[in-house]
Amino acid sequence: MQFRPGGHMRATVLRAGDFFGAGTGSWFDLVIAKGIGSGKLVYPGPLDLVHPWAYLPDLAQAFVAAAQAEGLPSFANLHFAGHTLTGHEFLAVLEKTATALGIARPASFKRGGMPWGLIRAGGLVIPIWRELAEMAYLWREPHALDGSSMATLEMPAATSIDAALRASLHALGRGHVAAVPTAAAAS
């Protein structure tokens, strides 16, 4: 929220897909790429459905752009488009990137799924598992975020998914190649 002249407040809601990049604590490092060093990837949903992703350095730039924007209404509801990919597409780029970084040999990855039944059962005694199970529908329903509400904001182009995954793996201490800059840092 932000105070405007005359005592009025401005509120902006910025919605984004699942976060990844710039460290730990997301689906990316805790589930999907957790076993990448041993050639195992786990995807939480069906591989043929689209799912939205938000690379955190790009999302941070979107927050700054929204906070600095003039002319937004008193209440703005913005969607950050980020990257929308099927599970197949996301894992294919991740596998290609991991191979290029020397994390695994080409075609050596095994793919697995999320044990949602076990998580639901464990949720009876582990509160965080119960909360995870409540959000499982987001992996079973194809969805995307339309970023047209942010089109008027001054923001750099989004970091490509390849570069974002490479930088994310590097931030996790994976691979032998230096991290790539975000789109904003490169320009």
Give the SS3 label for residue 96.
helix
Q: What is the pLDDT of residues 100-134, one digit of tens each?
A: 999 877 678 999 999 999 999 999 999 999 999 99
Residues 152, 130: Cα–Cα separation, whole Å: 39
Q: What is the pLDDT of residues 61-94, one digit of tens each?
A: 999 999 888 888 889 999 999 999 999 999 999 9
Tell me the pairing of strands 9-15 and 75-79. parallel
Alpha helices in 16-71 (DSSP H): 27, 56-68
Give the number of other Cβ atoms within 10 Å of residue 143's Cβ: 12
pLDDT class of 187 with cuts at 50, 70, 90: very low
Q: Domain 2-180 is classified in which CATH homologous superfamily?
A: NAD(P)-binding Rossmann-like Domain (3.40.50.720)
| Phi, psi of 54, deg, nearest 5 | -125, 115
Q: What does the mean pLDDT of the chain come to? A: 88
